[in-house]
Amino acid sequence: MMNLQTLEDELSRPSEADISFMQRIEGDILILGAGGKMGPSLARRARRAADAARNSRRIIAVSRSISDAVARQLTMEEVEVVPCDLLDRDQIARLPDSPNVIFLAGRKFGSTDNEPLTWATNVLVPGLVAERYRGSRIVALSSGNVYPLAAAPATEQTPPAPVGEYAQSVLGRERVFEFFSARDATAVTLVRLNYAIDLRYGVLLDIGRRVWERRPVPLATGSVNVIWQGDANSMCIRALELAASPPRLLNVTGPDTLQVRWIAGRFGELFGVEPEWEGVESPTALLSDSSLACHLLGQPGVRPEVMIEMTAHWIRGDQPTWNKPTHFEVRDGRF
């Protein structure tokens, strides 16, 4: 059974592909928006991969709101922590130069309560960053929410049809990076990520807790894709090598389409509980086809069955969570 320490270690443990990548690519790596769910473990993974490759590059984690405890831990692990409000052009100007930039900043939850801040964070900030780091390689985190609800997984050629202001602002983020990539010949990879799994957060935790607590599992969105956060970290780091102008689009998620009924059923077997249900499945869901990413970057290392088993142990052990439901069942785009 994992605890918090072993979870952090697993999320940040570099793969052989990560280490090989660090041997090929040159220069420091700057991670913007590193205080969120993904940033700290991604920064640690980049540092550990660089060390294993015997590479002395700087790994720089930039965030407005990183906690003191996380900042201390990152500093102990030789990740440089730089405070910065990315809505402030002057603060961005003072950030270190870097040939490699991973952009994780964004706003989703609470977006319906403050739409202007959502649009400023998701659209204005990318413009400020793209202008400041013109000519760098940039991996910009996007979301599968730009795609329509559909019966079949979307490929990178599927036309965007975002539902709701959050998803619209995410498409706006992509368009801004596309503009600056064309204007300045900046190489960009736009990573459309959906449903990364950290045991403290994610669709599997949401479903598993409902089963454990004998609450009904919503079925309106009847299928999902998931990917282990460590695998997503690895793909985002190595996507720097794929950056291009015009930007490369890349769906990053697991290759399997999982039925919510099946996920809940597996939790039920592990907990000895009969799941309860709410609603019926719609014929469409928010799904992504990750064939291209798997071809270019390799298959994710952690299979869905293993993620479910780890999540079940985490729930049964009453381990800490971030108490941030994914709202995977939401179909009107209001978060």
The answer to whether position 281 is within a domain reads: no
pLDDT at 130: 98
The answer to whether position 316 is within a domain reads: no
DSSP 265-322: HHHHHHHT----EES---S-B--B--HHHHHHH---SS-HHHHHHHHHHHHHTT----
The answer to whether position 332 is within a domain reads: no
In the predicted model, residues of the chain with pLDDT beneath 50 are none
Write the pLDDT tens digit of every residue in 136-183. Answer: 999 999 999 999 999 999 999 999 999 999 999 999 999 999 999 999
The answer to whether position 158 is within a domain reads: yes
* Paired tokens of 246: 């015009």
What is the number of structural domains in the chain? 1
Expressed as residue numbers, the domain containing 38 is 4-194+229-253+287-297
Assign residue 170 the CATH number of its domain: 3.40.50.720
CB 74 within 8 A of CB 40: yes
pLDDT at 111: 56
pLDDT at 110: 57
The answer to whether position 8 is within a domain reads: yes
What does the alpha-carbon distance between residue 183 and residue 198 come to, in Å, rounded to a whole number? 37
pLDDT at 1: 63
The answer to whether position 94 is within a domain reads: yes
Residues forming beta bridges with residue 235, ordered by sequence position = none
Output the CA angle 262-263-264, nearest 5 degrees. 90
The answer to whether position 318 is within a domain reads: no
The amino acid sitting at 202 is G
The answer to whether position 151 is within a domain reads: yes
